[in-house]
């Protein structure tokens, strides 16, 4: 898979971005940061958000290993008590186990941006356990994943499209990659310079999505990755009490 062929808008060449990608720092991936950025660049991506579960060390390693043509955003997929949130442009990991409102505040304190991944997925949807409705934080987030390449069956992506339209939020697609086979399988073309929080927000106003998905069988690697990571002592991080260091 490669990014769509370059095109221009008024003479400007777009940037190609994947805003949701995991590495072996996550408890459910075996894709090393170095391999992820190498593949991302080879497939034509210019910007990549590394969003490992509840940690940023993999993102930092990816940034250091990235080729010159690829800009890596330090991000995190944060598990809140209400559902997952994506943080981008952060410098410190946001701890899991806070409410969505508290998590958003912690991201904003760092000058970061907030996205909502797979909000209506039957297994990973927002507010399934807490009962918090996504509408209650719609004015506090910056974008919604309206196409997540790992959503299987149902109408979750379609519901996300409707939600983004109703709340005037940018909709993006994301690979949610956990293997190198999935990196950049869904990407977004944007114009302008998305390398800063303000620049990314401005560019998402005119985003052009290029949704696609890897074969369903790629997901069969996830249970295997979880088992290997568990054997390595890299299970899912849990909420920590005050005073514990991350």
Out of 82-91, 106-115, 220-229, 233-242, least confident range:
233-242
Is residue 174 within 8 Å of 146, Cβ to Cβ?
Answer: no
CA distance linking residue 84 with residue 98, whole number of Å: 11
Query: pLDDT digits over 32-68, tens only?
Result: 999 999 999 999 999 999 999 999 999 999 999 999 9
Average pLDDT, the chain: 92
Give the residue among 122, 104, 101 at the shortest CA–CA distance from 113.
104
- For residue 207, give the nearest of 126, 120, 139, 146 by alpha carbon: 146
The per-residue pLDDT for 243 is 38
The whole-model pTM stands at 0.92
> Furthest-apart CA pair in the chain: how many Å?
53
Strand partners, 173: 147
The ranges assigned to domains in the chain are 15-231
- Whose structure tokens read 């008024």? 10
Residue 2 has a pLDDT of: 52
Q: What is the dihedral of CA 6, 8, 11, 15, to 10 degrees?
A: -70
CB 78 within 8 A of CB 87: yes
Q: Tell me the per-residue pLDDT of 182-227, one tens digit each, with 9 for 90 and over.
A: 999 999 999 999 999 999 999 999 999 999 998 888 888 899 999 9
DSSP 162-209: HHHHHTT--EEEE--BSSTTTTTSSEEEE-S-TTSHHHHHHHHTT-EE
Distance, in Å, from the CA atom of 161 to the CA atom of 149, rounded to the nearest integer, reads 14
Cα–Cα nearest to 211, from 244, 186, 182: 186
Supply the CATH classification number for the domain 15-231.
3.20.20.140
């Amino acid at each position: 898979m490669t990014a769509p062929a370059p095109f221009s808008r008024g003479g400007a060449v777009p940037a190609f971005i994947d805003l949701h990608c995991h590495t072996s720092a996550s408890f459910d991936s075996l894709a090393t940061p170095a391999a992820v950025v190498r593949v991302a660049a080879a497939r034509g991506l210019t910007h990549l958000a590394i969003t490992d579960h509840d940690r940023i060390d993999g993102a930092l390693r990816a940034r250091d290993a990235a080729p010159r043509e690829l800009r890596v955003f330090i991000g995190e997929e944060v598990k809140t008590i209400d559902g997952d949130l994506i943080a981008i442009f952060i410098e410190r990991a946001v701890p899991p186990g806070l409410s969505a409102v508290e998590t958003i505040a912690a991201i904003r304190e760092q000058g970061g941006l907030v996205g909502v991944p797979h909000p209506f997925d039957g297994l990973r949807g927002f507010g399934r356990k807490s009962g918090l409705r996504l509408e209650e934080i719609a004015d506090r987030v910056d974008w919604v994943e309206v196409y997540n390449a790992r959503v299987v069956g149902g109408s979750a992506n379609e519901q996300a499209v409707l939600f983004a339209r109703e709340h005037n939020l940018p909709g993006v697609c994301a690979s949610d990659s956990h293997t190198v086979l999935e990196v950049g399988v869904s990407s977004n073309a944007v114009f302008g310079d998305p390398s800063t929080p303000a620049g990314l927000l401005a560019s998402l106003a005119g985003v052009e999505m290029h949704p696609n998905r890897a074969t369903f069988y790629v997901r069969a690697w996830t249970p295997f990755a979880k088992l290997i990571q568990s054997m390595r002592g890299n299970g899912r991080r849990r909420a920590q009490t005050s005073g514990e260091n991350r």
